[in-house]
Amino acid sequence: MSSLIGIGVGQLFRGARRGQAMVAGFGAALTLVGFLRRRAKAQRRLLYARTLKDGESLTVRLRRGAVSAGDDSRAG
């Protein structure tokens, strides 16, 4: 379980048990943020990974029109 989700669920139940609506609402918000962050993290994919040795270099060439449907246009 993600730390945000765990903390959020704990705060949610603690606030509900003690009758503190603000604490319960804060816990619900933390839980929601934790779930959304976990979902966003699951969609990321590593396309290529390699450890370079001293003196090695890596050249990445992109050709116009060679873009897949899953590309993230924010990268740059």
pLDDT for residue 55? 87
Tens-place pLDDT, residues 41-67:
766 677 778 888 888 887 777 777 655
* DSSP one-letter string for 11-65: HHHHHHHHT-HHHHHHHHHHHHHHHHHHHHHHT-------PPPTT--------TT
Kindly report whether the global pTM for this prediction surpasses the value 0.75: no
Q: Residue written as tokens 């003196």?
A: 55
Read off the pLDDT of residues 17-43 as tens digits, 9 standing for 90 and up.
999 999 999 999 999 999 888 887 766
Which pLDDT value is given to residue 69? Answer: 47
